[in-house]
Amino acid sequence: MQVDFHKMHGAGNDFVVLDARKRALPLAPARIAALADRRRGIGFDQLVLLQTDEPDATGAADVRVRFFNPDGSEAGACGNASRCVGRLLSAELHRPAIRLRTAAGLLEAVADTDGTVTVDMGAPRFGWDTVPLAREGDTLRVVLDGLPPELPPGAALSMGNPHCSFFLPTAAAVDPVLVGPVVERHPMFPERVNAGFAVVEAPDRLRLRVWERGAGLTLACGSGACAAAVNAHRLGLCGRAVTVELDGGVLGIEWRASDDHVLMSGPAVLSFSGRVELEEFAA
């Protein structure tokens, strides 16, 4: 089965977009993992699957979008991928505003003529059972045992997927490659977690690196940037509008006071398009 694909990225966070609106695609976890291999497959931080929206769904959407990690597990949300889909659909439908149905709910993406796309990620959720945590506790101060003493308590929330943000005095205080996998699979997080390691450089600027569950250290993580910006404001470390610098680029995040929705703006780039023979990869 030959399938067309688009390779895209948002600030270096890269995706393969497959269109299953006209025919179903056989994408077992093993096949997704094989496609994700950067030497033997196409390579990506997430695979993005476009599907026809359910006719009886609440609210109108232009497309249903599903996100899969390189290990084949499904993710509830991906901000940078949502922006990339927004750019694709905006060009296809010849209008700037696109509505996406995701596991995290309905999201609106608006494409600008300069290649920037803004996506409304909705309102963050702070309840311990919605992150979720393994037990009841303060999501602004999540203490994890078995981790280096230089790692401060984390601040946890859900952006449709679980995040825990750590605010460090310097970027070199901890190594995300060493600490990230331990945080991701810590017993405190029954669904695993995305671990963000942030430095507040100014009241309107953060430096961030994210260890993503199922993907590892990525050049950028849109929902992780949203989580870090919101958590920083909750802790009184920054304002509601910040610039977040990641390894792969810069994103603008605003936690809107009027409705608590988080808006994320940044580049959405089409790297190339191609065709892949799915049968060549593990089923």
Rounded to an integer, what distance in angstroms lies between the CA atom of residue 260 and that of residue 256?
5
Q: Quick one: 199 and 274 in the same domain?
A: no
Q: Quick one: 247 and 168 in the same domain?
A: yes
Tell me if 222 is assigned to a ligand binding site.
Answer: yes
Query: What's the confidence (pLDDT) of residue 40?
Result: 94
Model pLDDT for residues 150-191, shown as the tens digit of each residue: 999 999 999 999 999 999 999 999 999 999 999 999 999 999
Model pLDDT for residues 77-94, shown as the tens digit of each residue: 899 999 999 999 999 999
Tell me if 161 is assigned to a ligand binding site.
Answer: yes
Tell me if 231 is assigned to a ligand binding site.
Answer: no
Residue 92 sits in a domain whose CATH number is 3.10.310.10
Asked if the structure places residue 118 within a domain, the reply is yes
Q: Quick one: 16 and 75 in the same domain?
A: yes
Which residues 6+ apart lie within 8 Å of 153 measured at CB?
141, 142, 143, 144
Q: Which domain holds residue 174?
A: 155-259
Helix axes 222-234, 79-93, angle to 10 degrees: 120
Rounded to an integer, what distance in angstroms lies between the CA atom of residue 209 and that of residue 196?
6
Query: What's the confidence (pLDDT) of residue 58?
Result: 67
Q: Quick one: 173 and 250 in the same domain?
A: yes
Q: Quick one: 20 and 104 in the same domain?
A: yes
DSSP secondary structure code for residue 29 in this structure? H
Q: Quick one: 116 and 17 in the same domain?
A: yes
Q: Quick one: 35 and 110 in the same domain?
A: yes
The catalytic residue among 164, 221, 226, 238 is 221
Asked if the structure places residue 60 within a domain, the reply is yes
Model pLDDT for residues 210-224, shown as the tens digit of each residue: 999 999 999 999 999
Q: Quick one: 16 and 84 in the same domain?
A: yes
Query: What's the confidence (pLDDT) of residue 56?
Result: 62
Q: Quick one: 159 and 116 in the same domain?
A: no
Tokens standing for residue 194 = 């995305």
Indicate the pairing of strand 249-255 with strand 241-246: antiparallel
Q: Residue 142 is which amino acid?
A: V
- 18 near 50, Cβ under 8 Å? yes
Residue given tokens 């979720």 in the structure block: 132
Q: In the chain, where do the E strands start and end?
A: 2-10, 13-19, 46-51, 63-68, 74-75, 97-102, 105-111, 116-120, 155-158, 162-167, 194-202, 205-212, 216-218, 241-246, 249-255, 262-267, 269-277
Asked if the structure places residue 128 within a domain, the reply is no
Asked if the structure places residue 136 within a domain, the reply is no
Asked if the structure places residue 145 within a domain, the reply is no
Which residues 6+ apart lie within 8 Å of 252 measured at CB?
241, 242, 243, 244, 264, 265, 266
Q: Residue 9 is which amino acid?
A: H
pTM of the model: 0.92
CB count within 10 Å of CB 118 equals 21
Q: Quick one: 111 and 208 in the same domain?
A: no
Q: Quick one: 104 and 172 in the same domain?
A: no
Q: How many domains are there within the chain?
A: 2
Asked if the structure places residue 127 within a domain, the reply is no
Is residue 78 among the annotated active site residues? yes
Q: Quick one: 7 and 116 in the same domain?
A: yes
Tell me if 258 is assigned to a ligand binding site.
Answer: no
Rounded to an integer, what distance in angstroms lies between the CA atom of residue 242 and that of residue 163?
18
Tell me if 79 is assigned to a ligand binding site.
Answer: yes
Rounded to an integer, what distance in angstroms lies between the CA atom of residue 40 and that of residue 54?
35
Asked if the structure places residue 33 within a domain, the reply is yes
Q: Decide which of 87 and 75 is more confident.
A: 87
Tell me if 80 is assigned to a ligand binding site.
Answer: yes
